[in-house]
Amino acid sequence: MDCIPTLVGAELPLGFIPAGSTNALAHSLFGTPHVVTATMHIILGHIRSVDVCTFSSAGKLLCFGFSAMFGFGGRTLALAEKYRWMSPSQRRDFAIIKALAKLKPEDCKISFLLAGCSQNKQERKSQRSAESDCGGHWQTIQGQFLNISIMAMPCPCSMAPRGFTPDTRLHNGSMALRVVRNTTRSEFVKHLKRHSSVKNQGLYRYN
């Protein structure tokens, strides 16, 4: 649960041109995966701040990124990467179906700080907001989860028009944590289908 108390911004701006199949970053930044649109933003010098996550294991930095999934989502992404010789749509459908067929919960312990709960006391004092008045204590949940997602941006794509976390902002120093506890396969499929809708993606309680 070690973390850097003060957020550090990048000094060098990076230009981004989409070249993938989901292009969630392009959708979040530009609202479209159109290559020409991204290129024009670079040419015109448009700059937009975006939060970036660091992923570490045992104190060792592994990589940077904007989102990560564990459980069903992680297995789906790994399968899609393994079968890159397929077309994007075939690879996506195959990976989802295979991951659903082998759906199983993972026993996990998750620790997190609620939004606004900065560990930096001076920062909390300067903000003086009700949202940040939570003591900066780590919250912990433990149990069996089918999927765990963290996202620093909405990550919209063809499978989720409004994004997997529609309320996430690009540059507010926080990320969205979404967990799906163990449930039946049919209820989990209902959860997945909700992402394909442009509405009603809020919290969902299983029976």
**Mean of all residue pLDDT scores within the chain:** 81
Whether residue 40 is found in the same domain as residue 69: no
- The domain tally of the chain equals 2
pLDDT at 57 over 60: yes
Tell me, what's the pLDDT at 27?
A: 87
Is residue 86, in this structure, part of any structural domain at all?
yes
> Structural domain of residue 23, as residue ranges?
15-48
Q: In this structure, are 38 and 59 located in the same domain? A: no
pLDDT of residue 129: 44
Residue 18 corresponds to which tokens in the numbers above?
Answer: 């989409």
The answer to whether residue 203 is domain-embedded is no
Tell me: do 64 and 90 sit in the same domain: yes
Q: What is the pTM of this model?
A: 0.76
Reported as a pLDDT band with limits 50, 70 and 90, residue 39 is very high
Side-chain half-sphere exposure of 207, counting CA atoms within 13 A? 4
Question: What does each C-alpha distance from 204 to 139, 148, 181 come to in angstroms?
Answer: 21, 15, 11
Confidence (pLDDT) at 1 = 54
The answer as to whether 205 is a domain residue is no
Q: Sorting pLDDT into bands at 50, 70 and 90, what band is 144?
A: very high
- Asked, for residue 139, whether it belongs to a domain, the answer is yes
Same domain, 44 and 109: no
The residue among 1 and 72 whose pLDDT is bigger is 72
pLDDT at 127: 45
62 and 32 co-located in one domain = no
Confirm whether 112 is domain-assigned. yes
Question: Greatest CA span in the chain, whole angstroms?
Answer: 53
Going by the DSSP 8-state scheme, the letter that residue 82 receives in this structure is: H
CATH number at residue 97: 2.60.200.40
* Mean pLDDT along residues 183-194: 90
- Choice between 95 and 6, residue whose per-residue pLDDT is larger: 95
